[in-house]
Chains A and B, each alone.
Chain A
Amino acid sequence: GAVVSQHPSWVICKSGTSVKIECRSLDFQATTMFWYRQFPKQSLMLMATSNEGSKATYEQGVEKDKFLINHASLTLSTLTVTSAHPEDSSFYICSASPGTGGANGYTFGSGTRLTVV
């Protein structure tokens, strides 16, 4: 089945530094990937849609200069949290689908727990 690998699974960084999170589709090509953010006991909130070879589409209220997304190949999308602050601490999850998200839904990565100290 479709597998999405996300790395790292957790990271702790100092306030003001940048952190990069990778999302890879291991056995399929993904022209589109999605980045979500999840706070404790809350649902997944879409941050942006990552499009291979073009600019990402950000949801309203998400700072594009703070959350940089690069989708340079059909199997890799990266999310960089720039100048991280404690309020950026959260669980970040990526997802992708080998097709149009139909019968097999969207496959999710295992998530990245970011803690900014």
Chain B
Amino acid sequence: EDQVTQSPEALRLQEGESSSLNCSYTVSGLRGLFWYRQDPGKGPEFLFTLYSAGEEKEKERLKATLTKKESFLHITAPKPEDSATYLCAVGDTGRRALTFGSGTRLQVQP
């Protein structure tokens, strides 16, 4: 059974204070590792897909990396508008639906 564990559960940062979010996973056959951002009362918004260990992707202040067991979402010099819940999910080659982690609630204070 696929499993996704995210840590920390919640994170409070000062504006400009860089940090990383962790996503540990177990999957029988990795089709992709997905990162989403979710604002309160909204559906998840797609950020990145990573396919293989060593892959990295960047978008503005966000950078996602992948190893065989975990993924990190690095946030560089965050701003208050980066406050949201960040969800990690895995796609299994034997299953079309994604399996989600419980998310990290990020709050960036000005």
Contact = CB atoms under 8 A, between A and B. Distances in A.
A44 B105 contact: no
A109 B49 contact: no
A67 interface: no
15 contacts: A6-B43, A34-B97, A34-B98, A43-B100, A46-B98, A49-B96, A93-B43, A100-B96, A105-B32, A106-B34, A107-B46, A108-B36, A109-B43, A110-B42, A111-B42
Interface residues of B, number: 22
Contacts of B100: 43-45
Interface string B2-43: 000000000000000000000000000001101010000111
Contacts, number: 60
Interface of B: 31-32, 34, 36, 41-46, 49, 87, 91, 96-103, 105
A61 to B, nearest CB: 14
Interface string A46-85: 1001000000000000000000000000000000000000
Nearest to A101: B91
A104 B96 contact: no
A101 B45 contact: no
Interface in A2-57: 4, 6, 32, 34, 41-46, 49
Given A102-B31, A109-B43, A113-B41, 13 more contacts: A34-B98, A42-B102, A43-B103, A44-B87, A91-B41, A101-B31, A101-B96, A105-B32, A105-B46, A105-B49, A107-B46, A108-B43, A110-B42
A101 B32 contact: yes
Contacts of A45: 100
B46 A104 contact: yes
B42 A41 contact: no
